[in-house]
Copies of this chain bind each other. A is one copy, B any other.
């Protein structure tokens, strides 16, 4: 099922690899063939699509426009293929998800396992990365569904849903703060803290609050792994900060205690956005999984916020 011009696919490969010869290797054709297709394309568009450097090729403005079109075409072709296949029953395909680390502990494995138990034909590709990388992966067409901290609203992506979870401190059971119901940032800063590096979204959520204070605390540890921060907190090294979402099971094990954070009397929220490329229609199977994801996150948002409403 390859009824689109080779030039389309060649252009796409060249754009991704940034090199004609690399694209040729990827496509298992001669580099001359790729080169000619690109030249023909540029002639038809009437404008150069790449800037040639000694190192390879870079997109021009027109090239980026064409890249957008080509991505729309190829993604919609994917959707068509998937929908046709699911019509004939013998479906097999892949749902590709890019998300931040908070989801890996419970939300995503639960959902995928549940979906797989109902439909073995659908396979999944999940990649964990930072929030801005999630959005970039969607733009590049490397992921179908993206879950990231919602800081700014990107215009080329569609925000399918926005769920807010409380940000809180994570301490070991023996920690002096562990008996409290909620904590303030000031109370936490009296102890060694495990700070997130700027590549984690938590950094950008907490930094404005910390910057308001006159004295900036010296962090005991800086890390870029949610999991590592969690394990460090469990060993009593210090106070970690996390979204409430990622630590459900751990707090059930009572190794760790999650303390919702209060700032000037009001909760600190972490907004989780679910994103999809705007100029795109998802395959029916992917869309139904997306609906499940939104529903599940909505359910957890409701449940967890209700639980802490009781506490407060």
Contacts and interface: CB of A to CB of B under 8 A. Distances in A.
Contacts of A79: 69
Given A4-B4, A41-B3, A279-B281, A80 B69 contact: yes
Nearest to A77: B69
Interface stretch (A60-68, A101-109, A145-153): A60-68
A84 interface: yes
Contacts of A176: none
Interface in A79-128: 79-80, 83-84, 87-88
A44 B88 contact: no
Specify how many copies of this chain sit in the oligomer.
2
A1 B40 CA distance: 10
Contacts of A278: 281
A72 interface: yes
Given A2-B44, A3-B44, A44-B3, A84 B65 contact: yes
Contact of A68 (B5, B66, B80): B80
A84 B68 CA distance: 12
A93 to B, nearest CB: 15
A62 B80 CA distance: 9
Nearest to A4: B5
Contacts of A46: 1
A45 interface: yes
| Best-surrounded residue of A40, A41, A46, A73 (most CB of chain B within 10 A) | A73
Contacts of A44: 1-3
A184 interface: no
A77 B47 CA distance: 16
Nearest to A7: B3
Interface string A243-282: 0000000000000000000000000000000000011010
Interface in A196-232: none
Interface of A: 1-5, 7-8, 40-41, 44-47, 61-62, 65-66, 68-69, 72-73, 76-77, 79-80, 83-84, 87-88, 278-279, 281
16 contacts: A1-B44, A1-B46, A3-B8, A3-B40, A3-B41, A4-B5, A5-B5, A45-B84, A65-B80, A65-B84, A66-B84, A68-B80, A69-B79, A72-B72, A73-B73, A73-B76
Given A2-B44, A3-B45, 19 more contacts: A1-B44, A1-B46, A3-B44, A5-B5, A47-B84, A61-B87, A62-B84, A65-B80, A65-B83, A65-B84, A65-B87, A66-B84, A69-B76, A69-B79, A69-B80, A72-B281, A76-B279, A278-B281, A279-B281
